[in-house]
Amino acid sequence: MDSLLKVSDLRVSFPSRTGWVEVVSNLSFQIQPSEIVGLVGESGSGKSMTGLSLMRLIAPPGRAQGSILWKGSEEILTMPPRRLRSLRGAEIAMIFQDPFTSLNPLMTVGAQIAENVQLHQNLKGKAAWNQAVEMLERVHLPSPETLAKRYPHQLSGGQRQRVMIAMAFVCQPALLIADEPTTALDVTLQVQILALLKELRDQFKTAILLISHDFGVIGAVCQRVMVMYAGRLVETGSARDTLSAPLHPYTQALLESLPTPGAIPQPIPGQPPEPSRRPDGCAFHPRCRFAFDRCSQNTPALLQLGGEQQAACFLREREQKHL
């Protein structure tokens, strides 16, 4: 069976005074239908740029190169504009951390969702409105008929995030890209929103790419996880294995930096490098407690280790050779 999405050697770059700077490098991964995949990494690691590329939303002069194959047959990076418009919103939808950036302050939330229905489905007027109200009910907003007639500023932060989710799911997309959808919310609301995403995935069979810098969020809902550092994928595997037995020193360090009962959090020393100043070799080497000679000279490739787990680290390569 074809993957829903197959990304091969994706590179995202921006021009600078000294030439093109790559912010995402050699990224390859696949997403299967109705799978929930987490994308995690520190700020600046390239998570949002990856998410935006999938909808071809990198603003010029930035550029995305490589291949993003949709349902095994369509290349998103060279898709004609007309087809791209029908793909966005209807087949691939996106939600962000701050619903204010994506909701129109001058339209009622019901009208905005209905507009999305009209744009992508053959429904008009009252039928589109009814669908919007039904969707508001499905995201468990109280009195959806009344709420549909309100403007974004008349809703709470949690309600606005549910409206965003209703808008994203109303056309039953095959893929949802959720970029830090719960970061602005308190912990109780976070748990509710994640449960809602999972529930809607079950109903609509929508695959979800969940972008977060928070392993707690990823662990709560994802089957699979991808860890990014300095624009590259450094580890991927099932969420259970990756969180319980990480194989890349960066993933290990990220997990050790989290507050956990009975352990003192160990912050990762130093800062992630700016894209224009990424060190040669393994970009993590200046911060890695296991770094050895080779790490500053060559870039490690992702290596297939037991089961589904892959990591890009010379330490693992060395161990594998000595087995």
Ligand X SMILES: Nc1ncnc2c1ncn2[C@@H]1O[C@H](COP(=O)(O)OP(=O)(O)OP(=O)(O)O)[C@@H](O)[C@H]1O
Q: How many residues bind ligand X (CB under 6 A)?
A: 13
Look at residue 213 and give the partner it binds from ligand SF4, ligand X, Mg ion, none, a contact being a CB closer than 5 to 8 Å depending on partner kind: ligand X
Q: Which of 68, 247, 288, 305 binds ligand SF4 (CB under 6 A)?
A: 288
Considering the rule CB under 6 A, would residue 159 count as an interface residue with ligand X? Answer: no
The two tokens of residue 245 are 């037995």
46 binding ligand X? (CB under 6 A): yes
Closest distance to ligand SF4 from the beta carbon of 123 (Å): 52
By CB under 6 A, tell whether 70 contacts ligand SF4. no
Q: How far apart are CA 103 and CA 164, in angstroms?
A: 8
Please choose, out of 45-53, 237-245, 258-266, 309-317, the segment that lies near ligand SF4 by the rule CB under 6 A. Answer: 309-317
213 binds ligand X (CB under 6 A): yes
Cβ neighbors of 196 (< 8 A, separation 6 or more) are 139, 140, 162, 165
What percentage of the chain's residues is helix, strand, coil (to nearest 5)? 40, 25, 40
Contact between 48 and ligand X by CB under 6 A: the answer reads yes
Distance CA 133, CA 141 (A): 10
Q: How far is the CB of 13 from ligand X (least distance, A)?
A: 9
Nearest approach, Cβ of residue 46 and ligand SF4 (Å) = 17
Q: Pattern of binders to ligand SF4 over 237-276, x per CB under 6 A?
A: ------------x---------------------------
> What is the nearest approach in angstroms of ligand X to the Cβ of residue 59?
7
Return d(Cα 179, Cα 163) in angstroms, integer.
15
Question: Which residues 246-275 are close enough to bind ligand X by CB under 6 A?
Answer: 275
Query: How crowded is residue 292: how many other Cβ atoms within 10 Å of its Cβ?
Result: 11
Min separation Cβ 18 and Mg ion, Å: 24
Rg (the chain; Cα; Å): 21
Stretch that binds ligand X, among 39-47, 102-110, 185-193, 194-202 (CB under 6 A): 39-47
Name the binder of 275 from ligand SF4, Mg ion, ligand X, none, CB < 5-8 A by kind.
ligand X
Please identify which residue in 18, 43, 101, 143 interacts with ligand X, judged by CB under 6 A: 43
- For position 45 contacting ligand X by CB under 6 A, the verdict is yes
From the list 218, 230, 308, the residue with the least C-alpha distance to 270 is 230
The binder of ligand SF4 chosen from 36, 282, 302, 305 (CB under 6 A): 282
Q: Considering only the stretches 69-77, 130-138, 176-184, 278-286, report the one whose residues sit in contact with ligand SF4 under the rule CB under 6 A.
A: 278-286
Residues ≥6 apart with Cβ < 8 Å to 195: none
Q: What letter would DSSP give residue 287?
A: G
Count of Cβ atoms closer than 10 Å to residue 68 Cβ: 20
Long-range contacts of 22-27 (CB under 8 A, 24+ apart): 22/231, 22/275, 23/49, 23/231, 23/275, 24/49, 24/50, 24/53, 24/64, 24/231, 25/231, 25/232, 26/232, 27/66, 27/228, 27/231, 27/232, 27/233
Closer residue to ligand SF4, CB minimum distance, 119 or 303: 303
Do 1 and 30 meet the contact criterion of CB atoms below 8 Å apart? Answer: no
Residues at the contact surface with ligand X, assessed by CB under 6 A: 14, 23, 41, 43-49, 62, 213, 275
